[in-house]
Amino acid sequence: MTDLILQALFSGVLIGGVYALVALGLALSFGAMRIINLAHGELVLLAAYCAYLVETRTGLDPYAAIPLALLVVAGVSAVLFLMIDRIRQDRELNSLILTYAVGIILTNAILLAFASDVRSTASPTLQDAVTLGSVYAMTGEIIAFGLSLVLMVALWWWLKRSWYGRAVRAVSSNRAAATLMGISPGRTELVAFLVAGALASFAGVALYTMSVIQPALGHALTVKAFVITVLAGVGSIPGVFLGALLLGVTEALTVTLASSALQDLAGMVLFLVVLFLLPNGLFGARARRG
């Protein structure tokens, strides 16, 4: 029983790392623009199907699809931003409706192109088992977790050290003051949206290498990303990582000790408990402002 729980914890941490990568893009767009992109999960899924196409048509490793995924998802993200940017009244509410509609369109487009069949990588290298003591994982899961850590550090550096990263933080903090300092809010928000799309691209490819994908998965990914963003507190990258690990471990333990049918319910219960006890997120309002 102990080995079973340890395996569940280990698997939960690995899937939590990918959840964090999925949630980072949503957290960035929400932090910069105060817009919840309800099509974010579909963008992640679009990148995953790019990986599937490259693998099946060329025989290359799924990670070779990253340039294609970046191009496709960045293009869709740019079009989506231009549509959002044209909203002049009730931007928060109308953008929710718009992105939800775009998500439905993307889901049905993927369904028409690839049918409802479940897809997964056929790479023997990514499916090889790696044993670490009494626990094991697929090579794809280890690589995806490592990629998540690298990209989280890269995003933290970009937000702290680069000019556009500081501009994103300035616009999210005070749009009017940022404008007076010579920062273009529209251009900055576009950059934030494109970076969020790039993170979605990496997340989709990583997800394909370690799990199965199907057209209906996009909505579930959006919900998980939103839950993690709220758990973390807006603007907290460590909070996103911790929230994603909590969600991943909770789901894995629920599947192991109870039933896979209760997996999503367990995640929602965790969400409600943290929201009730820590309404400002795991790191609190002061850490978020920092």
Cα–Cα nearest to 44, from 72, 85, 10: 72
| Cα–Cα distance, 77 to 193 (Å, whole number) | 7
Structural domains in the chain (count)? 1
**What is the structure's pLDDT at 97?**
92
Q: Are 73 and 43 in contact (CB under 8 A)?
A: yes
Helix or strand run (H / E) with residue 228? helix 217-232
Q: What is the pTM of this model?
A: 0.90
- Pull the structure tokens for residue 242: 């911790």
Residue 286 confidence (pLDDT): 46
Q: Which domain holds residue 6?
A: 2-289
pLDDT computed for residue 289 by the predictor? 38
Given this model, what pLDDT does residue 69 score?
A: 96
CATH of the domain at 283: 1.10.3470
Which residues does 9 contact at the CB level (< 8 Å), separation at least 6? 249, 252, 253
Q: How confident is the model at residue 167, as a pLDDT?
A: 87
Nearest C-alpha neighbor of 29 from the set 149, 183, 166, 188: 188
pLDDT tens for the chain, 290 residues long, are 787 888 889 999 999 999 999 999 888 888 767 778 899 999 999 999 999 999 999 999 999 999 999 999 999 999 999 998 888 888 788 889 999 999 999 999 999 999 888 999 998 989 898 888 788 889 999 999 999 999 999 998 998 888 888 888 888 778 788 888 888 888 888 898 899 999 999 999 999 999 999 999 999 999 999 888 888 765 678 888 888 999 999 999 998 888 888 888 888 888 888 888 877 777 655 444 33
- pLDDT score at 283: 65
